[in-house]
A and B are shown apart, each in its own frame.
Chain A
């Protein structure tokens, strides 16, 4: 419960981002230029797209730790299929199909087998990575082959001077926003996240909604993967074993989407992403050592979680067994 008159976490983070922006603009020459701002948003747009996927799941009171593994393996498999001569559209359909099927399994494990989301998706992430490496390809990094060149636009193209990854990020945000605010399913998603039992009693198809939320996350993850791969003409599947998924959770929590579910909107993710973008960009310009950057990021995550706990305290109504 938020106390009246106090700021929401989203507002605090947004204020922090603006303050950092002002400080950097005054102290770092070249920070506040159109090019640098485009660069800044471009560098976090993939993180933002994944943030939207994770955010939708978290609003539905879940979490998807398999998101990054799924993104890496589905896109790497697609590239591998293209390199064996499959036409681009078919390979894309197969890649997307693989993503949706994995999302479906995730949702099934959480909704019907009733495994806590954190364990189900953690295990699925490992399984997906193993499946890809054993059955689909042998190398860590899958390169673009001429058949996939058309995809390069997603990484290098521009629309009216705006880099394509930013455009994709904006589109994903817009669609997710419309979905959450104006569709019946979006309303159900928030209801299920807020209070699963109450939603079920009032006739919301709670379990199918959980299936849907993981499938949507998987689909957005596939899009994020395509943008990642297009930006560097290759897909590095090692990212599946990295801590990248925690960066995605950081963006979501930082923006003010409570891990206890039911609250938050796409706006929060945009705010969280921008703060991380400003931070990373500023730290790179200042040439701060990499390990120190990690400490700063870690401290910010902790602060965000502490603020989240104070502003959205757990009570008997919201705390549940197996909760994260």
Chain B
């Protein structure tokens, strides 16, 4: 009987231990991790919804945060800086935990972002930074990007490499951080290369029709134009149309968030080269930064970080399936 009891006990212990092993061991940080996201709110203020960049960031943030129970809100100012400022002001009262802000220019939101941090809201800035630095900036290093673009233009167009040395630039809006910083980078390079001649430097307001008219006139005036550097692929559809219309061989180097339309454009020869800052990558950087903020809980305004997005110089030759991304239904 005693024997039976011992055996039963031994069997029981063995089975228990076996069961424990089959169940695995508990991750001690798991509960804390999920707790960190309970009842948290992230508010997103882009310059406007409705185009590849801002839709892509929203999609990435939503996919990363909502499954964790984070409440994700979008305030769409639809290209109006004053509506954006109002949205941020009302958010400061509503006190979300994190605000993701896409600045239309370097000045407009600077004081509001400081106020938000004073009110205890973490602020993450994306792609176009404000003159006021906050918890995190995620976006391209536009000055560096301008330098790299300048160097590419020299490579393609320098008379030593068989080009005519004549280039043109089509900017977006002159006051946007993306335009102003990039011009600084491009100019730095061009100053060292007097053999490169900048024959036209115009702004097309991010509009394809204006870009087309400008490019048509410039090509007509300089039939030996070697390259045009445009500041956004969506706008440079117009530049490409003017090049095609002229029948000339002008190298079109543009840039954007790497949406599928950019890869399609490379494939069919609309663009020759696209500088891509990956939008899904930026969304992931933002989501990671937000997750870290929720777990560390630092006091708002004490942390200032910058995460520059790596750049890809895509051409038809080096492009791979998966180099670009698409929105649902695209």
Cα separation A257 to B222 with both chains bound (whole Å): 37
Is there an interface contact between B212 and A231, defined as CB atoms closer than 8 Å? yes
How would you classify the secondary structure of chain A's contact residues: helix, strand, loop or mixed?
helix
Known: A39-B217, A141-B208; 18 extra A-B contacts, CB below 8 A, are A30-B221, A35-B220, A36-B217, A36-B220, A138-B49, A140-B48, A140-B50, A231-B209, A231-B238, A231-B241, A232-B237, A233-B241, A234-B234, A236-B208, A238-B79, A241-B78, A284-B214, A290-B202
| Chain A residues within an 8 Å CB radius of B220 | 30, 33, 35-36, 39
| Chain B residues within an 8 Å CB radius of A281 | 217
Q: A284's contact among B206, B209, B217, by CB below 8 Å, is which?
A: B217
How would you classify the secondary structure of chain B's contact residues: helix, strand, loop or mixed?
helix
| Chain B residues within an 8 Å CB radius of A40 | 217
Distance in Å: Cβ of B180 to nearest Cβ of chain A: 13
Q: B221's contact among A231, A280, A285, A291, by CB below 8 Å, is which?
A: A285
Q: B50's contact among A35, A46, A133, A242, by CB below 8 Å, is which?
A: A133
Residues of B within 8 A of A (CB): 48-52, 55, 78-79, 174, 199-203, 205-209, 211-214, 216-218, 220-221, 234, 237-238, 241, 244-245, 261
Q: B79's contact among A36, A141, A241, by CB below 8 Å, is which?
A: A241
Distance in Å: Cβ of B71 to nearest Cβ of chain A: 22
19 A-B interface contacts by CB (under 8 A): A30-B221, A36-B221, A42-B216, A139-B52, A140-B50, A141-B234, A143-B261, A156-B244, A231-B238, A231-B241, A232-B237, A232-B238, A233-B241, A236-B208, A284-B213, A284-B214, A284-B217, A287-B202, A291-B174
Is there an interface contact between A234 and B208, defined as CB atoms closer than 8 Å? yes
A228 close to B (CB within 8 Å): yes
A239 close to B (CB within 8 Å): yes
Cα separation A36 to B217 with both chains bound (whole Å): 7
| Chain B residues within an 8 Å CB radius of A133 | 50
| Chain A residues within an 8 Å CB radius of B213 | 43, 280, 284
| Chain A residues within an 8 Å CB radius of B245 | 156
Residues of A within 8 A of B (CB): 30, 33, 35-36, 39-40, 42-43, 46, 133, 138-141, 143, 155-156, 228, 231-234, 236, 238-239, 241-242, 280-281, 284-285, 287, 290-291
| Chain B residues within an 8 Å CB radius of A138 | 49-50, 55
| Chain A residues within an 8 Å CB radius of B202 | 284, 287, 290
Distance in Å: Cβ of B169 to nearest Cβ of chain A: 10
Q: B209's contact among A35, A228, A280, A290, by CB below 8 Å, is which?
A: A228
Distance in Å: Cβ of A249 to nearest Cβ of chain B: 18
Distance in Å: Cβ of B131 to nearest Cβ of chain A: 21
Is there an interface contact between A233 and B209, defined as CB atoms closer than 8 Å? no
| Chain B residues within an 8 Å CB radius of A234 | 208, 234, 237
Name the 5 nearest CB pairs between A and B, nearest first: A232-B208, A290-B203, A43-B213, A140-B50, A284-B217
Is there an interface contact between A39 and B216, defined as CB atoms closer than 8 Å? yes
Cα separation A290 to B208 with both chains bound (whole Å): 16
Cα separation A42 to B209 with both chains bound (whole Å): 11
Distance in Å: Cβ of B162 to nearest Cβ of chain A: 24
| Chain A residues within an 8 Å CB radius of B78 | 241
Closest to A43 in B: B213
Closest to A228 in B: B209
Cα separation A30 to B200 with both chains bound (whole Å): 15
Is there an interface contact between B216 and A233, defined as CB atoms closer than 8 Å? no
Cα separation A155 to B201 with both chains bound (whole Å): 25
Closest to B201 in A: A287
| Chain A residues within an 8 Å CB radius of B241 | 155-156, 231-233
Cα separation A143 to B52 with both chains bound (whole Å): 12
Distance in Å: Cβ of B330 to nearest Cβ of chain A: 9
Closest to A137 in B: B50
| Chain B residues within an 8 Å CB radius of A39 | 216-217, 220
Q: A140's contact among B51, B174, B221, B261, by CB below 8 Å, is which?
A: B51
Closest to A138 in B: B50
Is there an interface contact between B174 and A290, defined as CB atoms closer than 8 Å? yes
Contacts A36-B221, A39-B220, A43-B216 known; A141 to B201 CB distance under 8 Å?
no
| Chain A residues within an 8 Å CB radius of B214 | 284
Distance in Å: Cβ of B225 to nearest Cβ of chain A: 12
| Chain A residues within an 8 Å CB radius of B208 | 141, 232, 234, 236
Is there an interface contact between A139 and B55, defined as CB atoms closer than 8 Å? yes
Which of A43, A228, A232, A239: most chain B Cβ within 10 A?
A232
Is there an interface contact between B217 and A43, defined as CB atoms closer than 8 Å? yes
Cα separation A141 to B235 with both chains bound (whole Å): 10
Cα separation A242 to B208 with both chains bound (whole Å): 13
| Chain A residues within an 8 Å CB radius of B200 | 284, 287
Is there an interface contact between B217 and A139, defined as CB atoms closer than 8 Å? no
Distance in Å: Cβ of B270 to nearest Cβ of chain A: 9
Contacts A156-B245, A284-B200, A284-B202 known; A233 to B207 CB distance under 8 Å?
no
| Chain B residues within an 8 Å CB radius of A232 | 208-209, 211-212, 237-238, 241
| Chain B residues within an 8 Å CB radius of A46 | 209
Distance in Å: Cβ of B229 to nearest Cβ of chain A: 15
Distance in Å: Cβ of A98 to nearest Cβ of chain B: 20
Distance in Å: Cβ of A156 to nearest Cβ of chain B: 6
Cα separation A50 to B200 with both chains bound (whole Å): 28
Which of A30, A40, A43, A140: most chain B Cβ within 10 A?
A140
Distance in Å: Cβ of A204 to nearest Cβ of chain B: 39
Closest to A42 in B: B216
| Chain A residues within an 8 Å CB radius of B199 | 287
Cα separation A231 to B216 with both chains bound (whole Å): 12
Closest to B48 in A: A140
